[in-house]
Structure 1
Amino acid sequence: MDATADDATADDATAGTVAPTSRVDPDVRRAHALVVGVVATVLFVTLRLVVALSNSAPLPIDAAWDGTMSSLASPVGVIIAWVPAIVGGTIGMILIGVATTIVFLVRRRPWDALNVAASIALVVAIGAPMAAVIARSRPTHSLAETVATSFPSGHTAVATTIVVTLGLILRRRWVWVAGVLWVVLMMWSRTYLHAHWLTDVTAGMLEGVAVATLVWAAVEVSRERRAQRAAAATA
């Protein structure tokens, strides 16, 4: 076997544990992710304060959007809206999260598996207790959930987290495009079914962006430091 083939074999052997190469410097990517994460966090907290100042009552934009969704209601629209609602529900998201984590483990990418699992666990750990504590009432004519845990939208938060995490890991344009469309569809679905106010799904989206970008940056730093220590130990 010649040297070129040996190099190719070595590259294939390490492809499972090393993140795909990128034309952008890793430090720059992490810096960008941190900036986006911090901005999303600030916007999320700001929106939470705005909702708190209204005693968790719907804001004018919430009422206007809810009215628009009511005016567009149709049996076909409801059926379509239930698709992301079911797929992105608790069971659906658990299955997607577990399946994605297993795929990365099988492909010998433990850091990426950790990234997915940690992001989903953290976004749920933040959003679920917050929704219970805030106890914001849903629209009175909700076609889905009726429990007063409207802010933030868990469906939207988890969907956004998975999309952003996979986008950062896989670094493929089609992943981002498909992911953005999925998040927008989820946000529309939750408001079309009157399960959430517009500010609920917006908050869920911001929460997901914040968690996904910050966790990804933290995992990448840990990955790099461990690689550096391993290299130093064998030097």
Structure 2
Amino acid sequence: MKSPDERDDLSRLKPVIVGAAAIIVAVVLLWIVTSVRRDQPFPVDVRWHELMIASRTDAGLVVAWIPSHIGGPAIAIVTSVVVVGTLLILRWWWAAITVAAALALCIAIAAPLARLVARIRPEDSLAEVVPTSFPSGHVAFAACLVTVLALLFRHWLWWVFGAVWVVWMAWSRTYLAAHWLSDVVGGLFLGVAVGILAWAVVETIRRRRAARTADPTLEDRSA
């Protein structure tokens, strides 16, 4: 029978494994896109794009624009400030540090990466038209935010809400032809990987500080 500490270590190890897998998938997809698919979509991208265009309705466009606007760069920054500020007001210091680190890292990676890859968007995009299609920053930010919040608060409702929000965001970006399907998939894995990485690093620091506070001799041993 596992001790409480062993179960706790296992619960922290599982997200790290998922994060490592997400990093691998994101890197492989990035390599494929930059190597052979920078100027042309995958066949599955084309089929999905055609399906989205064929299914467009006025009501669908309204529904699609909601997450697209909310997940825009300016509002994403506002969202970051509001979430972190709320956590600080509640004096959940470590949670605030974790969320701030995750979102800052996500923004710092996704935006420059999209400019570096410079993948062409669909010609009939109803949103952005600049060649910064891969990865989807909207989806990366959404996935990063919900991942880190779900890991912090560990309630199934966070996972359900997060899954719905990310799927809605990914669908909206392809429905508006702002991205290819592979762009939003890349954004998803990037966001999940960054969220887990930030959580794992900050959680490790927090636990070590807590252990040193509980047992001051640990600090003497590490000196």
TM-score by length of 2: 0.92
1:46 partnered with 2:28 = yes
1:169 partnered with 2:155 = no
User: Aligned AA for 1:162?
Assistant: L
Q: Deviations over 1:169-222 (max 9, x none)?
A: 111111110110000000000000000000000000000110011111111110
Q: 1:26 to 1:219 in 2, by over 3 A?
A: farther
Structure 2: any 5+ residue segments left out of the alignment? Answer: 219-223
Query: CA shift at 1:59, angstroms?
Result: 0.7
Partner of 2:122: 139
Moved runs in structure 1, 4+ residues, more than 3 A?
22-25
User: Aligned AA for 2:195?
Assistant: A
Partner of 2:221: none
Secondary structure, counterpart of 2:48 in structure 1 = helix
1:30 to 12, 21, 42: 12
Tell me the distance in 2 between the aligned counterparts of 1:43 and 1:234: 42
Tell me the distance in 2 between the aligned counterparts of 1:45 and 1:139: 23
TM-score by length of 1: 0.87
Tell me the distance in 1 between the aligned counterparts of 2:94 and 2:6: 20
Q: 1:23 to 1:194 in 2, by over 3 A?
A: farther
Report the more deviating stretch, 134-143 or 95-104.
95-104
Secondary structure, counterpart of 1:148 in structure 2 = coil
Report the more deviating stretch, 57-66 or 95-104.
95-104
Identity of aligned residues (%): 43
Q: Deviations over 1:39-66 (max 9, x none)?
A: 0000001111221232412110111110
Tell me the distance in 1 between the aligned counterparts of 2:155 and 2:5: 12
Q: What is the 5 A alignment of 1:54-69?
A: 54-56=36-38, 57-69=40-52
Secondary structure, counterpart of 1:140 in structure 2 = coil
User: Aligned AA for 1:43?
Assistant: V
Query: CA shift at 1:23, angstroms?
Result: 11
Structure 1: any 5+ residue segments left out of the alignment? Answer: 1-21
Tell me the distance in 1 between the aligned counterparts of 2:5 and 2:207: 17
Q: Give the number of equivalent residue pairs.
A: 214
1:93 to 71, 76, 79: 76
User: Aligned AA for 2:127?
Assistant: A
